[in-house]
Amino acid sequence: MADAEYTFVVSQVNMTHMCQEMSVAVVNGQLPGPAIEVTEGDSVMVHIVNLSPYNMTIHWHGVRQLRNCWNDGVPMITQRPIQPNQNFTYRFDVVDQEGTLWWHAHEAFLRGTVHGEWWEKDLAKVGNNMTNGFFDDYSSGSTINGKLGDLFNCSGVPEESYVLDVEPGQTYLLRVINAALFSEYFLKIAGHKFTVVSADANYVNPFTTDTISIAPGETMDALVVADAPPGKYYMVALPSQAPPPDTQTPEWTTRALVKYTSPGNGSASSDDDVPEAPVMPDNHDTISSFYFHGNLTSLRHRRRAQVPKEADEHLFVVLGLGSICRNGGLSCKRGNTDEIILVANMNNVSFHLPPDMATPILESQYYHHQNGMDTLHELSNGPPVTFNFTDRDLIPFGPKEMALEPTSRAKLVRRFRHGATVDVVFQSTGMLQGDSNPMHLHGHDMFVLAQGLGNFDAARDVATYNLVDPPRKNTVLVPNLGWAAVRFVADNPGAWFIHCHYEFHLSMGMSAVFIVEDGPTVDTSLPPPPVGF
């Protein structure tokens, strides 16, 4: 028995946007997919019926999954994928979390079809291209609740907009999810302010802002009071990252409408009211996003929201791009795009699961299978950061050339003793060309202790750590050309994926698995796989 039980039928349907019909993968025929509503403490059961032609899993992004790694939904890390015409049931509890989390297929191209963007390209092909180091693919437009909005049109007919009806004086809770594959977003409503109350399903000290800045994988809960003169107002989501400026069109922006109604006599605005539009930040204004994230602090209302004062382990992770030889060997003509593949990496190792791998990492770990585990590569502390590009491969990168370090591919993992308090510093590098890195850890929340621009310098920066009320996040935004320091307690036994939620970094290997060992008692260990698993 579960408190909340759902059936998700995954299928392919045809949808038309921008004058073009596309086949997209959807759940229960809907785009965006169905919402799951639970009260804290609820147990949830979701039956997946896969009628799509794809292998897939569903990941419950940000759900803590304490001692429940089997239900985390990452292909070949926690389970074998659900094949076409197969069923699978996920079971999990929602405990000690409040606000908004989300679910998505843990497969790049399938995730793209679930929520945030409209693609005129075949996403299976885009996904395959990315894994092979090609990424000149961008979505065709952003959406708010699946609607492209009136800036998109074909044959002079505007696309449908999402409309939020509000009554004067009422307060609304907006659950904001960045489900896009490729970009941070700025969200703004003309004439209104947001009060941010929760981020990644952890309460924050409320703060008021006119712009929400949100990276892929992040969720924010914000209150909006309908206190403007009755009328119509645009709600605008502006991508603030990819695509590069030279391929970006203003139409990439999506608009929804906030429309005042009056309880007694219907509409408080007339059809020919021209909606007021907000003034948006510059789309490459990375500093606004930096300060927005710096405003998040924890409400500290739970025991789990208290940050440990000391760490047992320290890990320095450099995020970058690199190249490997397409032939799998070490020698190839570097600098020649036919012979090398562009990859993304952590400490210069790019995550890779061999296509013929038969046993998921979690299962190998649980049963102590030697087979499979002997080829794991340990993520060690990163090299000193350098923004110096000499001695690297130059490959064409869009309109420019880009310097890349020769790198390797492996099943990258790091093991942690149960209960260890771990500090990780994520350092972004100049190679990433203006991309920030939303780093997402499964199965744990991370305290975000500090962030900074430029290179992390322990002697200077450790002193700035917030050890009073750091926010708890499952996705920490590592600023463009900067760093972020996090602390987490490795108290959840299992094999947990950690990755950049920026899709082409993920597809190109900017990920690893954190293996958390069993604790000393049954209560602190991973139970056996569920019956029928």
Q: Confirm or reject binding of residue 352 to ligand C2O (CB under 6 A).
A: no
Binder to ligand C2O among 17, 64, 67, 106 (CB under 6 A)? Answer: 106
Closest listed residue to residue 124, CA positions, set 141, 140, 105, 108: 108
Binding range to ligand C2O, per CB under 6 A, among 141-149, 376-384, 462-470, 497-505:
497-505
Considering the complex, state which of residue 283 and residue 436 has its C-beta at the smaller distance from ligand C2O: 436
Among 488, 497, 504, 514, interactor with ligand C2O by CB under 6 A:
497
Write the binding mask 293 to 332 for ligand C2O: x where contact by CB under 6 A, - elsewhere: ----------------------------------------
Q: Given the rule CB under 6 A, which of 145-153, 260-268, 346-354, 496-504 is the region that contacts ligand C2O? A: 496-504
59 makes contact with ligand C2O (CB under 6 A): yes
Closest approach, Cβ 89 to ligand C2O, in A, equals 20
Beta bridge mates, 25: 12
- Residues numbered 200 to 229 that lie near ligand C2O (CB under 6 A) are 217
Kindly tell me which of 269 and 350 has the beta carbon lying closer to ligand C2O. 350
**Terminal-residue alpha carbon distance, the chain:** 18
Q: How near is the Cβ of 158 to ligand C2O at its closest, in Å? A: 32
Residue 473 in the binding site for ligand C2O (CB under 6 A): no
* Nearest-approach distance from CB 497 to ligand C2O, in angstroms: 5
Residues pairing with 411 in the sheet: 376
Distance, CA of 32 to CA of 35 (rounded, Å): 9
Contact string 76-95 vs ligand C2O (x = CB under 6 A): --------------------
For residue 208, the cross-strand partners are: 195
Examine residue 64 and tell whether it contacts ligand C2O (CB under 6 A).
no
Coil vs helix vs strand at 285:
coil
Among 64, 67, 104, 487, binds ligand C2O (CB under 6 A): 104
Residue closer to ligand C2O, measured from CB, 106 or 255: 106
Task: Please state, as a whole number, how many other Cβ atoms lie within 10 Å of the Cβ of residue 202.
Answer: 26
Q: CA 125, CA 105: separation in Å to the nearest integer?
A: 16
Q: Which stretch binds ligand C2O (CB under 6 A): 186-194, 207-215, 297-305, 495-503?
A: 495-503
All residues at 6 or more sequence positions from 374 whose CB lies less than 8 Å from its CB, including other chains: none
| CB nearer ligand C2O, residue 159 or residue 218 | 218
Cβ-in-10-Å burial (0-12, 13-18, 19+) of 496 comes to buried
Which secondary-structure segment (H or E) carries 111? helix 108-112
Q: How far apart are alpha carbons 233 and 508 in whole angstroms?
A: 40
Q: How far is the CB of 185 from ligand C2O (least distance, A)?
A: 16
Minimum distance of ligand C2O from residue 502's CB (angstroms): 11
Q: Which residue number, 75 or 471, has a Cβ lying nearer to ligand C2O?
A: 75
- CA-based nearest residue to 496, from 461, 432, 446: 446
Backbone φ, ψ for residue 264 (5° rounding): -75, -60
Give min distance, CB of 471 to ligand C2O, in A. 18
Q: Which position among 8, 60, 61, 342 is part of the footprint of ligand C2O (CB under 6 A)?
A: 61
**Count of residues in contact with ligand C2O, rule CB under 6 A:** 10
- Strands (DSSP E) along 121-280, which ranges? 141-142, 153-154, 157-158, 163-166, 171-177, 185-189, 194-199, 202-209, 211-214, 219-225, 232-239, 254-262, 266-267
Binding span for ligand C2O by CB under 6 A among 137-145, 164-172, 221-229, 494-502: 494-502
Give the distance from CA 476 to its chain's centroid.
9
**Toward ligand C2O, which CB reaches closer, 307 or 500?**
500
Tell me how far apart the alpha carbons of residues 429 and 201 are, in angstroms, rounded to a whole number.
29
- For the bound state, the minimum distance from the C-beta of residue 442 to ligand C2O, rounded and expressed in Å, comes to 6
CB of 85 to ligand C2O, least distance (A): 25
Which residue is closest to ligand C2O by CB?
61
User: What are the backbone dihedrals phi and psi of residue 188, each rounded to the nearest 5 degrees, phi first?
Assistant: -150, 145
Min CB(438)–ligand C2O separation in Å:
9
> What is the three-class DSSP state of 400?
strand
Q: Got the DSSP string for 73-105?
A: --BTTTBPPBPTT-EEEEEEE--S--S--EEEE
CB-side exposure of 59: number of CA atoms within 13 Å? 27
54 vs 397, which CB is nearer to ligand C2O?
Answer: 54
The footprint of ligand C2O on residues 399-458 (CB under 6 A) is 440, 442
Q: Report residue 352 as tokens.
A: 């890779």
Encoded tokens for 63: 């759900």
Residue (17 or 106) nearer to ligand C2O, CB: 106
Choose the stretch contacting ligand C2O; rule: CB under 6 A; options: 77-85, 223-231, 292-300, 493-501.
Answer: 493-501
Spatial distance between the Cα atoms of 48 and 41, rounded to a whole number of angstroms: 22
- The answer to the question of residue 499 lying near ligand C2O (CB under 6 A) is yes
344 SS3 class = strand
Q: What would the two tokens of residue 512 be?
A: 């690893």
Residues 6+ apart with CB under 8 A from 120: 18, 20, 22, 140
Is the Cβ of residue 59 or residue 188 nearer to ligand C2O in the bound state? 59
In the complex with ligand C2O, the residue whose CB is nearer, 178 or 269, is 178
The two structure tokens encoding residue 211:
């712009």
> What tokens appear for 119 in the block?
């693609």
Looking at the Cβ atoms of 104 and 352, the one nearer to ligand C2O is: 104
What is the binding site for ligand C2O (CB under 6 A)?
Answer: 59, 61, 104, 106, 217, 440, 442, 497, 499, 501
